Amino acid sequence: MPETTTTPHGTPQPGSAVLPPLRIGPITVDTPVVLAPMAGVTNAAFRRLCRESGAGLYVAEMLTSRALVERSPESFRIIAFEPDEVPRSVQIYGVDPATVGAAVRLLVEEDRADHIDLNFGCPVPKVTRRGGGAVLPWKRDLFAGIVRAAVDAAQPHGVPVTVKMRKGIDEDHLTYVEAGLTAQDAGVAAVALHGRTAADYYSGTADWDAIATLKQAVTDIPVLGNGDIWSAEDALAMVAHTGCDGVVVGRGCQGRPWLFADLAAAFAGSDERIRPGLADVARVMRRHAELMVDHFGEESKALREMRKHMAWYLKGYVVGGELRAQLGLVSSLAELDDLLARLDLDQPYPGDAAEGPRGRAGSPKRPILPYGWLDSRELSDDFRRDLHEAELSVSGG
C-alpha cells in the first residue's frame, strides 16, 4: 500500500490504518462501507451485484413514508428483499413526524427491515419545494420530531435508525452540526454527512472538512462520510482526512459494482484492486440485465431500466458513438447479447479514464423552498397544516 493517497481535492493525504468493523446498533458491518440509496439504481438487482463483490451495508431505494403507510404496491416491491439479503436496509423520506413514525412501525412490526435510514440529504426540487430532504433540518423542531418519532417506533423491536444529511441549504444556512447533535440525543445509531449543501447539488468538490467537524462534535455514535469517493484510495483518504468511522458510496459505484471489492480490500489493508478488461465488464453487464429481468418480472421494463447503466459501465473504454447509442436504447436480452458481441472485448482496463465522476454533476442550483421557509428556524402553524399534503407519494432522488 503506498504511504500516501490522492484525494479528489488534489491534495495528498496519509494512507489510512485498517478500520474496525462498523457498529450500527446491534448490526456489525465487517467492512465500514454503505451503499447509498439511489432512485432507479439501488434496486435488488444492483444490490446483489454489489453484495457479490464485497462486504458492506446495502440500502434499498428511498421510500416515502406516506406511500408506505398507504401500502403502495411499488413501495412493497422496493422492499422485497432477497432471502439472503441481511441486514435488510430501508431508507424513508417524510416531513410529518406522525407519518414517518407510522411508516417505521409498519416496517418493524411486520418484520420488513433490520435497519432504517432517514433521508435528510435529497436536493431535488420536488422534495425541497415541500420542505423535505436536505432543507428540512433548517426547521429544527420538525427535524427533531421526525427523528424522535422514528427512533421511538423502531426501538421496541431493536431496529436501529440512522440519519443521512447534507451540510445545509447553502453556505449561509448550515445545519449539519446542530442536526447531528440532535440526532445523537434522539437515539439514532449513526449519522452520515454528504459534504455538500442542497445548493451545491452534485457540483464541485465535497467538503471533507465539514465531515471532520461533525466527527469532532458527534462523539457517541459513528459518523460516516459521503461525497467524492470514486476509488478505494479516495475512501482511505477521506478516513485519514476526517477521522470518520466509515464511508457512504453513491455515484462512484454506478457501472462499477466491483468497487465494493476494492473497498473491502483497502479497509483490510490490502492493495489488491479489480481492474476489469472490457470482456469482464460485458459479462457483468449481462448478469446485471438478467438480475433486472428477475427483479421486474418483465424483460422490456427491465431493459428500459438497464439503459441508464450502459454509459456508466463503458466509461473509459473505446466503444464508438453508434454502438453506445444503440446500447442506450436496448430493449431485450437478445438485442443486448448482439450489441455486446460487437464490442472490442480485448480491451484492457483503461486506467483513470474508467474512474472518477459518473454521469452529470451539474452546477450549483438555488434550492426551491416553500415560501417563507428561511424566515424562521421554527415551524409555523401554516407550515404545520401543510405537512400531510407535503408527504409525496412518489420516490425522491
Catalytic residue IDs: 122
SS3 state at 225? strand
Contact between 24 and 161 under an 8 Å Cβ cutoff? The reply is no
Nearest to 265 by CA among 243, 228, 235, 227: 235
Q: For residue 59, what are the contacts with CB-CB under 8 A and spacing of at least 6?
A: 34, 35, 36, 37, 42, 89, 90, 91, 115, 117
Order of strands across the sheet that contains 115-120: 57-58, 33-35, 246-249, 223-226, 190-194, 161-166, 115-120, 89-93, 63-64
Using CA of residue 365, residue 313, residue 275, residue 284, what is the dihedral sign? positive
CB count, 10 Å around CB of 320?
11
Nearest to 248 by CA among 300, 190, 288: 190
The three cell numbers locating residue 93: 423520506
Beta bridge partners of 33: 247
Contact between 58 and 90 under an 8 Å Cβ cutoff? The reply is no
Scanning 18-139, the segments in alpha helix (DSSP H) are: 44-53, 65-69, 73-78, 97-109, 125-128
